[in-house]
Structure 1
Amino acid sequence: MNIILSNATDEPIYAQIARQIREQIWSGSLASGAPLPSIRQLAKDLRISVITTKRAYEELEKEGLIDSVVGKGSFVAGVSPALLRERRLRRVEELLEEAVGDSRALGMGLDELVGLLAILYENGGSEHE
Structure 2
Amino acid sequence: MKIILSNASSDPIYIQIVNQIRQSILSGELRAGDSLPSIRQLAKDLQVSVITTKRAYEELEKEKLIDSVVGKGCFVSGANKDFIREQRMTRLEEKMVEIIRESKELSMSKQDVLDYLNLLYEEEHTP
Matching residue of 1:18: 18
Unmatched 5+ stretches in structure 1: none
- TM score, norm. by length of structure 1: 0.85
Deviation track 1:59-104 (CA, whole Å, cap 9, x = no partner) reads 1111211101112110111111211221121122122122212222
Quote the Cα distance in structure 2 between the aligned partners of 1:101 and 1:23. 28
Matching residue of 2:96: 96
Matching residue of 2:118: 118
| Compared CA separation, residues 57 and 102, structure 1 to 2 (3 A) | same
Unmatched 5+ stretches in structure 2: none
Aligned length, in residue pairs? 125
Identity among equivalent pairs (%): 58
Matching residue of 2:62: 62
- TM score, norm. by length of structure 2: 0.86
RMSD of Structure 2 on Structure 1 (CA): 1.7
Quote the Cα distance in structure 2 between the aligned partners of 1:116 and 1:27. 28
The alpha carbon displacement at 1:3 in A equals 1.3
3-state SS in 2 of match to 1:51: helix
Quote the Cα distance in structure 1 between the aligned partners of 2:89 and 2:34. 23
